[in-house]
Structures are given as C-alpha cells and as structure tokens.
Chains A and B, each alone.
Chain A
Amino acid sequence: MNTIAALEQAEKLLTPWTKEAVRPESNRLDVTIAGLDLYACAAALKQEPWGYLSAFTGLDLGLEVGELEPLYPFCEGAAITTLRVRLPRQGGSVPTLYPLFPVASFFERELSEMFGIEVTGTPDPSRLFIPDDWPVNVYPLLKDFDPKVVQPRQADSPRSFQPQDGQTFYVPIGPQHPALKEPGHFEFTVDGEVIVGARMRLGYVHRGIEKATESQNWVQNLYLLERVCGICSHTHATAYVLGVERLAGVETPPRAQAIRELIAGLERIHSHLLWLGVSAHEAGFDTLFMYSWRDRETVMDILENLSGNRVNYSANIIGGVKFDIYPEHAKTIRQGLDFLEERIRHYLDIVTTDILFLQRTRGIGRISREEAAHLGLLGPTARASGVVRDVRIEAPYGPYSHYPVSIVTSEAGDLEARFVVRLKELFVTINTIRVIMDNLPESDLSVRVPRRIPAGETISRVEAPRGEVFYFIKSDGTDRPERIKVRTPSLCNWTAVLSKAVGSQLADAPLLIAGMDPCFSCNDRMITVKRLDGK
C-alpha cells in the first residue's frame, strides 16, 4: 500500500480518539490524543496491523507553555504516524504499552528518567541510562535542567543481590568481561549450564549526546552525532543531514547522494566483516576471527584512501559531501571489492558447512517470524527470522530510489541464519557499489545551506548495518537545534537476546549476544530488562 493510502488508513483508525490531526510532511501524520487513550490507540494500530512502534520521543515545550509532549511514532513502510500527548510539566503520566509492544519497556524507562513522566503499569520502573547515584527528581532533558544540581548520592541499588538457593546462582557477564568489546552488564541466573533468568543493564557509555546537541550549532552537531558510534558513524551522519536538509528545504545534488550511498555500502561491508570476526571469537573460532579481520583491512584502506580516516569518515556535510571520487579511487575500490567478494564467498561456505561451527550455530536461538515482529526486532536480526523490514526498501531515502538494493531474508531464524543473512547482504552491497560507480552522475558536490535552519520537526529513518536508526529533529529557527532524538537499532534488538537466553545454555549466551550485533555505544542509553522466570 502506498504512503498516502497508509496515512489515510491510520487517520481513519484513530478517529475516535483524535483531538487534532496534522500532516506536517508528505509521509507523516501527527495525531494529538489524550494520555488516557494512548493504549487504545496503540492497540487499534497493532490490531490492523498498522506498522510497528519505532521509538518514543519526549519534548519539553518550554517553561512558558509549561507542558511536556511525549511522541509515539509508528512506522508502516514510508508512512509514519505519531501519537502526541500533552502533559503538564509535573506529575504527568501515561499508560504503559508493554503488553502490546515488549520493546516499549526500554523506551518508557528512558522517558521517565529523562523527563519525569510517570508511566503507569510499566514492568520495570528502574532507570535505564542514568546511573544509580544520580539525584532523584532531576531530569536531564528538561529545558531548565541545571548541571550544578547534580551531586552524587548514595545509590540504593535497584538490583539487590539475590541469595543463592541451592542449585541456581547467577553469572555476571560485564561490565568488564573478555566477551564484551564494550561495557554492558548481563546477569544470567543459571542452573548448571542452563540459563533460567536474564537481566541486563546498559548505559555504561552514556555520554549525554542528546542533551549536548542542544548547545551546539547545526554544523558542530554533525560531528558530534557522527561519533555516536564508530561502525555506523556514516549512517548517523546521513540520518542527521537528511533531516536537516529536509527542514532547510534544500535538495542535495545527485552526485553527493550517490557518494553517500557508496560510503554507506562500504561501511556496511566493514561492519559485517567486523561482526563476523567478533562472533567467531565468541564461539571460540579464533582462526575465522583473524582471517576476517585481516580482510577487513582491505575495506578500511579503501575508506582511508577515500575519506582520510578509517572510521568516522566525515563524508557528509549539511547539503552534500566533502570529497569526490576520482578514477584512481574507483580503481582501488573495484580491486578491493573483487578481492572481498571472493573472501566473503569463502566465509559463507565456512559458516554454512563447517560441521563443528554449525554445532554452535544451527538451531540455536531460533526466533520465529511472529515472535520477531512482536518483539520489534530490526535489521539483519529480524530479516534472519523472515521479517521483511529494511528501511532502504520500505522507505527509500535519498539515493536508494535510484540505486535500489534487494532484501536478503532467511526463514530459519537461528544463529546460522543471522550469519547467512549478513554475509549475503554483503554480496548485494558489493554489487550496488559497482553499479553506483558505473553510473556516477555529474553534478556539484554540495549546495549552500543557511546557518539558521527554518523551524519545524522532521523524522529521518536510515538503515544502519544493525537496523533502523530513527532521528527526530526539531528546529526552532535558530542556529541550534531544539531537540534531537536518536533511537538506535541495538536498543530494540536486546529483547531478542533476553527472550532467547532463557532456556539456552550458558555457553550460547555470548553468541546470542553477539548474534544480534549489539553496538553499546550506539545505544547511547541504558536499558535494564528483567526477565526472571518464576524468581
């Protein structure tokens, strides 16, 4: 169904509760509803089914208006319906959406700790990103937040140590652990080797980026947001500049768009090869780790040649790209891609036929398609379970309408499928890069964009190697943004780990965690999810 029809359908579904319905952009519908009707509206959308819950955002409308506004965007293809609720600055509350969308518990915790909005009925009201010794009743994302107020206090730990009763005890993995390349904390309650409960806490690398964006101008924010993550840095930068360009009403020249997609493709190759090595290491297959990282150097050299840096390429500027691709670069890229294609074919063969490796991956952590859709999974983790969810195909942005990619899915839903999907995606990516290089349009590299971006709100969704990156950008007409909200795919994918960990063996836990390709620094937030069965 096309975007306009989808939006009309959503508008019709929500009529009983609509206070006000606006179409701020051609693919967006904003519906203001009362807080109490939130659950009913979400249930109506899920019933249809219309889209999936993509993120939550909170807005502080300022001290004069005296209201907070949580936003709930649902995405169906390219159409986005946002439910907006107006709440007073103090004491506002909304009902939980957890029974409908398990992923909502993460978002709700963030909402309540950042804005002070109470979410009634949420399964876990403890903090997500903010550390335990942060003072109570101090909410960082409010406009009148004063950093001087923050004095560490005696933390009462929300996770008190549970006494061991005979057979079961819990094994902590992280925040310092050889398995994790970045800090996060997992508590697995085990009985022998079988996991019976799983909890996690993130936020160890929370850097307060969203708040920081409000005090820097649009150009500086580009570099700040690029550094949310090292492996998906170009995706974050792309999402940001697409949103800002849309607000500014400029059209990026075609050559710049093509170069953006090319670099995104190279980044995807880099990311998936990195992930292949890391997962192999988690499984104990160090040889595959060493070889795949050796081959990753090829793509890093290509990117360094092209952009000047191995990660954080800083290719984008608002209005275009910084550098051009000349024939000598194109030649290096092609040679590198030929080499990589052959090596990736070899790795695909290893991953699907090595008898011992299959023992570690086939049939383990199987998530069915319905479960994946219900849990709100994104990216290759969802595609490995057969869910057709890829922003580049459902909602093509920028150059993807000219150089489309094809989707790679698998029905198996187990760890092996995740390997296969990611490696096959790389073949598609390599071909797309070749097509782009053969058909690079001639044009300028950038257009001028004013320093003050016109007021407005926009939503920008981009497909990172890990899934959908969701950006909500609000400008108030000055040279600084009013609010930027970043929702990264790893946040949604944690539900996969936790739901599958219970019942599996402890030895599978690192592979389950690695299988969804977590990016802790991308998370930019903390999540604690308690999933204790019967404890």
Chain B
Amino acid sequence: MKRLLIVLLMSCLFVNSNFCKEEKIILESPLLSLIDGKTFGVSAVSFGLMLKQRLELRRRIYGVMQENGKRIGFFEFEGKKVTLLDLCEIESHVGEDSVKKDALRKLLDSAKDDFMAISDKYAQAIRSIKEPLLGLLEEFVEKKGLKHCFLITWGSITAQEEEDAIRSELKDFKDFTKFYIELADFLEVLANSCPKGKRLFVEMVKKARAGK
C-alpha cells in the first residue's frame, strides 16, 4: 500500500509539473514563414547565433555555468564575482552609501559597454531588418503581457540613437537586468518560432557530435 502511495504521489507530481509548465509562446508573424529555415534568413548558423546571443545574455544575468554545476557571476564587484541579479539586490540595499553607489554606476557603464560589444557582431544584421523586427517585438510583448518594455523603444529607434537610448534610458541595474531578461526571452521565443531553423541547427549539432 505504501509503495502504491509513493507511486501515486510521484505520478501526481509529474502531472502537476506538466500542467504548471508555462505554455510556449510562438510568434506568428508572416515574416517568420519567409525566413525560417532559409539561408538568407534563419539558417542553422543564424539559429545558433541567436542561441549564442541568448547564452551570453543569460551568463550575465544568472552567471556562467561551471563544470561542477555551479554558476559564477560574470561581473566583479568589490572583489566578488556577481551576476546582474546579485547587482540588483546590492543596488536595492545600497542606501546612501555614495562610494558604493559610485562603484555601481561605474560597473553599470562598463556593463553597457559590454552589451555594446557582444551585440555589435549582430547589430548590423539586426539594424537592416529593424522595421520587420519591431513587428515581432510587439507580438512578443503582447503575448508575454509585458508592460513598459524597453525592447519596443529599442526596436523603434534608429541605429544611431541605439547607444544613446541604452545609456540614458537604462538608469540602474534593475532596468538593465529587466532589459537583459526580456531580450533573452525574446530570443528564445524567436528561436522557438522557427522550427525549420531549429531542425537545421539540431542536424548541425548531431553532425558535429558524430564527427567527434
């Protein structure tokens, strides 16, 4: 009887975990049907680049995964490795400590420089499709139910205004981290909405693994 109860509990747990799992957001813009799986659009490599950008963002938000399964913060603050989430926490308790405030401001500036550096490789490609990308961002924001999303601002400004907007609009780590999380989520949703690109990428991974 006890064994049965254990099985029952485990089963219920699985069912619950299944039901609790958040429903995947799929973007339905006609643009995706045009570019998904195409060499000029979302090819295996482009899909991989999307994942690469997402991974870079998540490394900064949650930390870099180590072989021992632990994460280490990407940034360094007061001699410690910290993540963006840690920095948000520190920022919320900083109070009137002007030295700490100053150090956080400097770190925020260098984090922004770092964002410019990691997105620079893709910036040109993104800028060229900014108008259609805005449609995708709007769809994502609507389906995700986000409010006051900097992503929309970022998608609707010109390439020249991008850096200024990031520097002026994202005033603290809270805003900056929110932007990072939303951007990483958007990239995941975008990648999920490209099944052909995903299939090509998986084939590429399989080939690479078989090659090894």
B is bound to A: no
Show the binding face of A for B, using Cβ within 8 Å: none
